[in-house]
Amino acid sequence: MPIGFSKKLTAHATPIPGVVLYDLPVHGDNRGWFKENWQREKMVALGLPDFRPVQNNISFNESAGTTRGIHAEPWDKFVSVAAGRIFGAWVDLREGPTFGAVFTAELDPSQAIFIPRGVGNAFQTLEDNTAYTYLVNHHWSADAQGQYTFLNLADETAAISWPIPLEQAELSDKDKAHPRLAEVTPMPPKKVLVLGADGQLGKALRKQYDGDASVEFAGRGEFDLGREDAYAGRNWTNYTAIINAAAYTAVDAAESAEGRAAAWAVNVTAVARLARTAVEHDLALVHVSSDYVFDGTRATHDESEPVSPLGVYGQTKAAADAVVSVVPRHYIVRTSWVIGDGSNFVRTMASLAARGIEPSVVNDQIGRLSFTQDIAAGIRHLLETGAAYGTYNLTNTGEPQSWADIAADVYESRGKPRNAVTGISTEEYFSGKAAAPRPLNSALSLDKIHSSGFQPRNMKEALSDYLANPLADTHVPATRGVGSRDGA
């Protein structure tokens, strides 16, 4: 059968999600033919995942009827015919509703097909001297074979109509021994790794992903971001994303010599290691940033505003943002005034109200609370919807308030008069104290996160829900350190 010359580069969807068949332009004359088997710019523009291939393999088959498969490997592959013609069969062996779905097609050198991780690949040669090529995005190793998933070529459920009956075809003994579909263990999806899983945001992410086996949680004991061996000890090919919920947030302590070193170690050096890991293994990296990267001189801060931090903590967060921004697949999630399960401003005010204390609270810092429940839901939304990579402001919605206004709301919810809270300026409050400079205006524009399809709760509604929890009255010292997120 002659090769189809002069086709346009075209993508064709198949019944298996992620499996796409491509027509390739082949140019020929009396000398033979030439094709661009892989052309990253054109193919990515057409919708092919930019899967970053690292190895090219060729399977040469001397006789028609040679049949290989069905092998689902733990990596993506782009396969095509270099010479000859094949009948290809692909079976979805991934966990999920399309497990067992089948697609077949004849391929000559003018076609190629993209096969995602976990989809079984098989082919039967229809001509002598056929060469079948694989472009894959992970290096083959003997250890990786333990992660393969196999299906028998003669499986009755898949019911593949082989052009040359299998009893007349050339098969390996190993392929003959593969299990039927009912005995196949589906290939699980790649995992999302949550670091800093014991802090306020980490606990909210645990609740957000409760029951989802594809999300793995690691506190400092399981993964110490400051230790090189923590990175070397993982098989990163099993992951698709990292959510970094760990941070040094002791804003005032960061101004000391010891605190400054600790803040840079956790917020920058460790994040740089994560960024390098994400780049090397093509992982999405979710990094949580802060309103402290701004000086607070604008009424509202959007994602395009240049950073201008006032203190050491803000400087480390701004530096980390710059590091993460070079990761091709990144989400920088910028928050302010974070409230969750742990020490925070709202709990402190609820405890003071319960004890009848009338506090003086800063009234010239303006912003919005960010409840960890909403931050966690927003992060999940970005990852699961495949939102455009980049920076997103993510706080609760509503009219920005001062800390004193929020404290008065807490007191009112506890049956105390609002005027039990006395407003005081930042300068007065910190007079004579060692304290970091703070942005006076922390209100973040939410237009971008809204346009992505995510709508956080209103700040007052979220505050009411939070205060309905009896633990909100628990007195917790307002310490801020590694592994927690309070954003103050």
Catalytic (active-site) positions = 71, 134
User: How many Å apart are CA 139 and CA 49, to the nearest integer?
Assistant: 18
- The enclosing H or E element of 442 equals none
Q: 18: closest CA among 124, 73, 90, 107?
A: 90
Outline where 46-180 has alpha helix (H). 173-176
Structure tokens at 161: 């109509």
User: How many Å apart are CA 201 and CA 245, to the nearest integer?
Assistant: 6
CA 18 vs. chain centroid, Å, equals 18
User: How many Å apart are CA 480 and CA 343, to the nearest integer?
Assistant: 8
- 3-class SS at 364? coil
Phi, psi values for residue 258, rounded to 5°: -70, -45
CA 154 vs. chain centroid, Å, equals 38
Residue-wise DSSP of 224-236: -TT-HHHHHTS-G
CA 237 vs. chain centroid, Å, equals 14
CA count, 13 A, side-chain hemisphere, 136: 18
Computed on alpha carbons and rounded to an integer, the radius of gyration of the chain in Å comes to 28
- In the block, tokens 């001397």 appear at 62
Q: Cβ contacts of residue 415 below 8 Å, gap of 6+?
A: none
Task: Judge whether 445 and 394 are in contact, CB under 8 Å.
Answer: no
**Residue 165: count of CB within 10 angstroms of its CB:** 10
Provide the 8-state DSSP code for 483. Answer: T
Task: Judge whether 301 and 400 are in contact, CB under 8 Å.
Answer: no
Q: At what angle do helices 459-467 and 403-413 cross, to 10 degrees?
A: 40
